A and B are shown apart, each in its own frame.
Chain A
Amino acid sequence: MTEEPKSTGKQTQRLLLIGFGGLLLLLAFSGFNALSVLGHIQTSNEQIREDYFNRDRILEALRSELYLSGTYVRDLLLEPDPARADSHRAELDSARVRLGILMNSYQTVLQANEQIPFERFRKEVTAYFDSLKPALEWTPSQRKELGYSFMQTSLLPRRATVVLLADQIARLNQDQMNSGNRQVQALFARFRTNLVLLLCVSLIVGVLLAYGSIRRILRLERLSALRFDEVVHARSALQDLSARLVEVQETERRALSRELHDEVGQGLSALLLAIGNAAAMISPNDNPEARVQLLDTRRLAEKTVAVVRDMCLLLRPSMLDDLGLVPALEWQAREVSRTEPIRVTVQAESALEELSDDYKTCIYRIVQEALRNATRHAKAKLVQVALTQDDKALRLTIKDDGKGFTPEREKGIGLLGMEERVKRLDGTFEVQSAPGTGTTINVVLPLAG
């Protein structure tokens, strides 16, 4: 019983930790994943574009060098001046060198599918320049004679083939970029699917967790309500029990007191009379020893009578039954004043007689206990007891000028007993006291009807 809530608490803690921790981890993972995938996509995108433009630029340069080389060859073939022809030849050479460098640099960024077309392109370029070689050695008259037809039949077609190849590579390059874009799109689509999946999982886990938590909280709440009911029940049972205790004690005391008074007390009184009678029958001269013996016996019996009477009064003052509440209180006040160095005053209306026994006993016992406290603990000099009654309630105030105390801290068993008696009759009980200020007890007992 005591073990269960503790383990339930631990279990709850573990479950919540796992559940919410898992959910948070899942969300964190999704977020991190999304960021990294997006970053990756962006980088790929940029890379693809950069590669494309890079290659495109080289291809463009290749194409323009090819055209330039063609122009140089034409210029050479049409040049009558040998000196100027040399310079054209040098320009052509340098264009060839630049083409070589450009092709080498393209080789480094070459894509797999461009391999074969690029090889062909390279070969064609080499073939193109090889085909030019004989024409470069021609004399000016040869050039004038053969130049035009060479340009028309050999140079221009070859150059066109090479440029065509370059265009083909450029198209491949374009395709490459398109396929790169498609790849990125596919990546993006996959990423979206993953994200949706993760969010779905998170949502499901979250819903399950919320459902579980709510169920568990409700269960715990129900459990605690149950416990609360149990506590309330136990408390009321305890109150009933203590009320019963007071009742039983009172009944027992009364029975014991009556028994003592009726049987023992009356028996002793009769004994006293019998002794007296017997003593009277013996004349002093007749048997003085027996007479002395009888008188001793009588003294003993008298003492015993006094003891029994005191015991009876302590257990249950017969005044309460014989004379009523107010005379009983007044008697008690006189008794305490007689035996203790204290003055007790009682102020009460005498119209209080028609009270039920419960009320009489309650008030009487409270006053009895309060007087005991005032004499024993508070060392009071004066105690004022006031009792009033109206249609609705019976009000008792007991005020002393003793040492006082702190009621919140030092509520003894005596005060608790008083409170218990008052509660039993649905009354209110209040103690006002502080060290050095005396003590005031206020009791209000509502009267039924």
Chain B
Amino acid sequence: MFAIRIVLADDHTILRKGLRLLLERETDFKVVAEASHGKEAVDAVEREVPDVVIMDIAMPMMNGIEATKRVNETHPKTAVIILSVHSDEAYVLRALKAGARGYLLKDSAESDLIQAVRAVVAGKAYFSPAVSKILADDYVRQVREQGVEDPYDLLTARERELLQLIAELKATKEIAELLGLSPHTVDTHRGNLMQKLNIHSIPEVILYAVRRGVIS
């Protein structure tokens, strides 16, 4: 019996109760702990070592971003899904930089949460469709307004493949196997890719992929 163990972190009891109800309708989901602030969430992860943490951003004591960073540092195998009211890319990027694998909007949690949990458990990234849409729209508008060339057009087919795989949170070794390349070659391709996109971190690559609609 492979139950998916979940920690819920949100400072609003009613919301936690609703989320719990929603999650536990799935027979293989189990909410093992609830936390009302970031510190408590970090402690709960320490104690329970769950598969997934569902984390609100605005919480007292320690906010969700900081808590995500801690969890990611100490338990990289635990996937964090950020639950937020903000669909802005600043929040998404911040969440990704802190190590979150999923980003969900609170008002669409009811329809997306189950899917998100399953996706991150499977090692994929997950973004609320609403978030993806807003990010993609912003991207298109910015490219059009600034009249610059979309760097996506500069990418080779291999680099585009690589972009998708990186955004799906695949490890270098995994990517190498999938593409039939050596890890060293993958590193080289990734370097070129980031240089062409003029970005400097994996979270930014992921964000770019979402904005460009490569993943959703």
Q: Are B65 and A269 in contact (CB under 8 A)?
A: no
Chain B residues within an 8 Å CB radius of A334 = 88-89, 138
Q: Which of B61-99 contact A (CB under 8 A)?
A: 63, 65, 85-86, 88-91, 94
Report the nearest A residue to B60, measured CB to CB. Answer: A262
Q: Which residue of chain A has its CB nearest to the CB of B85?
A: A309
Of A154-162, A271-279, A360-368, the segment with at least 4 beta carbons within 8 Å of chain B is A271-279
The contact of A319 among B12, B88, B110, by CB within 8 Å, is B88
Asked if A270 and B18 sit within 8 Å, CB to CB, the answer is yes
* A45 interfacial by beta-carbon distance below 8 Å: no
Interface of B is mostly: helix
Complex: chain A residue closest to B13, CB-CB: A270
Given A318-B58, A331-B90; A262-B12 close (CB under 8 Å): yes
From A273, A330, A335, give the contact of B15 (CB < 8 A).
Answer: A273
Please pick, from B17, B65, B107, the residue contacting A322 in the complex, using a CB distance under 8 A: B65
Identity of the chain A residue whose Cβ is nearest the Cβ of B145 in the assembled complex: A343
Complex Cα spacing A319 to B94, Å: 11
Q: Size class of A's contact patch?
A: 20 to 34
Stretch at the interface among B19-27, B44-52, B150-158, B183-191: B19-27
Known contacts A270-B15, A273-B15: A280-B25 contact under CB 8 Å: yes
**Chain A residue at minimum C-beta to C-beta distance from B17:** A270
CA distance A272 to B86 in the complex (A): 16
Q: Which of A269-302 contact B (CB under 8 A)?
A: 269-270, 272-277, 280, 298, 302
A323 to B88: give the CA distance in the assembly, Å: 11
- Whether, in the assembled complex, A92 has its beta carbon less than 8 Å from a beta carbon of chain B, the answer is no
Query: Given the complex of chains A and B, what is the CA–CA distance between A275 and B110 in angstroms?
Result: 9
Q: Is the CB of A274 within 8 A of B18?
A: yes
Partner of B109, one of A273, A306, A321: A273
* Residue in A262, A269, A306, A343 whose Cβ sees the most chain B Cβ within 10 Å: A269
A330/B90 in contact, CB under 8 A: yes
Please tell me if the beta carbons of B90 and A323 are within 8 angstroms of each other in the complex: yes
- Kindly state whether residue B141 has any CB partner on chain A within 8 Å: yes
A84 in the interface (beta carbon within 8 A): no
Residues of B within 8 A of A343 (CB): 145-146
Chain B residues with CB under 8 Å of A273's CB are: 15, 18-19, 21-22, 109-110
Return the contact of B85 from the options A261, A270, A330 (Cβ within 8 A): A261
CA of A370 to CA of B77 in the docked complex: distance in angstroms?
A: 46
Q: In the complex, what distance in Å separates the CA atom of A127 from the CA atom of B91?
A: 154
Q: How far is the CA of A362 from the CA of B142 in the complex (A)?
A: 27
In angstroms, how far is the closest chain A Cβ from the Cβ of B14? Answer: 4
State how many angstroms separate the Cβ of B180 from the closest Cβ of chain A.
Answer: 39
Instruction: Please provide the chain B residues from 27 to 60 with a CB less than 8 Å away from any CB of chain A in the complex.
Output: 57-58
- Taking the complex as formed, is A305 at the interface, i.e. its CB lies under 8 A from any CB of chain B? yes
Chain A contacts for B17, CB-based, 8 A: 270
Q: Does B195 contact A (CB under 8 A)?
A: no
The answer, yes or no, to whether A338 is at the interface (CB within 8 Å) is yes
Report the separation of the CA atoms of residues A306 and B94 in the bound assembly, to the nearest whole angstrom.
22
Contacts of B107 in A (CB 8 A): 268-269, 272, 302, 305-306
Q: For the complex, is B111 an interface residue (Cβ under 8 Å from A)?
A: yes
> Which residues of chain A are near B89, meaning CB under 8 Å?
334
**Shortest Cβ distance from A329 into B: residue:** B90
B124 at the interface (CB under 8 A from A): no
Contact A319 B14 (CB under 8 A): no
Q: Is A206 an interface residue (CB 8 A)?
A: no
Shortest Cβ gap from A4 to chain B (Å): 59
From 214 to 262 in chain A, residues with beta carbon under 8 angstroms from any chain B beta carbon are 261-262
- Cα distance A269–B58 when bound, in Å? 14
Q: Are A322 and B91 in contact (CB under 8 A)?
A: yes
Q: Is A327 an interface residue (CB 8 A)?
A: yes
Across the interface, name the chain B residue whose C-beta is closest to A275: B110
Given the complex, which residues of B lie within 8 Å of A266, measured CB to CB? Answer: 12, 14-15
> Is B88 touching A331 in the complex (CB atoms < 8 A)?
yes
Q: Report which of B91, B110, B145 forms a contact with A272, defined as CB distance below 8 A.
A: B110
Nearest CB on B from A367, distance (A): 15
Contact B138 A319 (CB under 8 A): no
Measured CA separation A334–B22 after assembly (Å): 34
**Chain A residues whose CB sits within 8 angstroms of the CB of B146 once the complex forms:** 343
> How many angstroms between the C-alpha atoms of A266 and B142 in the bound complex?
32
Residue A168 lies at the interface, judged by CB distance under 8 Å to chain B: no
User: Do the beta carbons of A277 and B18 come within 8 Å of each other?
Assistant: yes
> Does A337 count as interface, using CB distance less than 8 angstroms?
yes
- A338–B138 touching, CB < 8 Å: yes
A420 CA to B136 CA in the complex, in Å?
39
- Cβ of A269 and Cβ of B86 under 8 Å apart? no
Interface: A265 (CB within 8 A): yes
User: 9 closest Cβ contacts across the A-B interface?
Assistant: A273-B18, A276-B110, A327-B90, A270-B14, A266-B12, A270-B15, A269-B106, A305-B107, A270-B18
Other than the known A272-B106, A273-B19, A277-B21, what 13 A-B pairs have Cβ atoms closer than 8 Å?
A: A262-B11, A267-B12, A269-B85, A270-B14, A270-B18, A273-B15, A274-B21, A276-B110, A277-B110, A305-B107, A322-B58, A331-B88, A334-B88
**19 A-B interface contacts by CB (under 8 A):** A265-B85, A266-B12, A270-B14, A272-B18, A274-B18, A274-B21, A275-B110, A277-B18, A277-B25, A302-B107, A319-B88, A319-B91, A322-B65, A323-B65, A323-B91, A327-B94, A328-B90, A337-B145, A338-B138
